[in-house]
Amino acid sequence: MKRIAALSLLLLLSAGASQAATALRFTPPPGDASLKEFADKLGNNASEREQMLQAITTAKTEIFEQRYAAKGWKNNVAGAYTFFVSGVSYVWTGKVPDGAAEDRLFAQMGETLAPDLAGVSDREKATLYNTLIASISLPLLLYIDAEQTGNQAQIEQARTLAAQYSREILKMEPEQVGRLLPAAPPAGPPATAAAVAPATVSSAPAASGAGQLDGRWQCVVSSVRYVPGAGGSSMMMVDSIPSISFDIAGNRYRTSAGGGTLSVVGHELRFSGDDMGNMVAKLDGSTLVFDSVTRCDRR
């Protein structure tokens, strides 16, 4: 009898979690024009409106959905909110948000939003989702381009735009938004000296998953470019350009130009030796993030 009661409780909890997840997700409705409607408000003529729509659509696909689909953020309102918060924080501070903090915020957003989204139509969810992504896409594109070209005036323009959307959507100043990304939970009892020492990457199966880093990694660099558009205007595009590739085996790495050793400290992977010496990457799920434009995935 106790076993049946326990199983019944587990089923109820599972059903509740499933209902919460369903409330956050949506199926894109046929004929949804919310992205176009957002872009139309920004352009002064047909050419500018088309340019805005193209830039926002590219950012949505290449910066958000391709990166976060595996985490369940695509077509998920909590995912769009997390992307918005993360984007504002990045543009305002210039620091890439920690992937684990993004995951914690996504979970918290889901718990907060699910009750309010229960029963909301897919079309309404899609509009909210697209508005959040579109609002942060333009500041992100401006900021990435400005970082690549060293254009400080454009960096300030991106920050001004991010601040505007932060105040409109979250009713918060941009410097406050980064605080929404939750810090790691408090650690347990004080660790021993051996436990806190930097750990080298091991290829042994029992090395707490560290061996999962073994293999060939290919990096891509996000590059913003402008192409001719209608009416003589320019259209912003984001390209993913293949960059360096390297192999990891245990606590060593090798590139076509050299190699060396690496160590894992928290969520950071630190390289030493030839070619990639002094480079540091953050482990974001299954992706290594070196900076705002350089990301590497295992092939």
Tokens of residue 172, six digits: 């918060």
Same domain, 152 and 207: no
Same domain, 248 and 173: no
Q: What is the pLDDT of residue 253?
A: 86
CA 50 to chain CA centroid, nearest Å: 26
Q: What is the pLDDT of residue 288?
A: 82
Long-range contacts of 112-119 (CB under 8 A, 24+ apart): 113/23, 113/24, 113/77, 113/78, 113/81, 114/19, 114/20, 114/21, 114/23, 114/24, 115/23, 117/23, 117/24, 117/77, 118/19, 118/23, 119/23
Q: What is the pLDDT of residue 12?
A: 34
Q: What is the pLDDT of residue 278?
A: 75
The domain tally of the chain equals: 2
Domain encompassing residue 174: 32-180
- 0.75 exceeded by the pTM? no
Residues of the chain with pLDDT below 70 are 1-20, 183-211, 220-243, 275, 285, 291-293
Tokens of residue 127, six digits: 């509009």
> Is 21 inside a domain boundary?
no
> Is 6 inside a domain boundary?
no
Same domain, 87 and 165: yes
Same domain, 168 and 38: yes
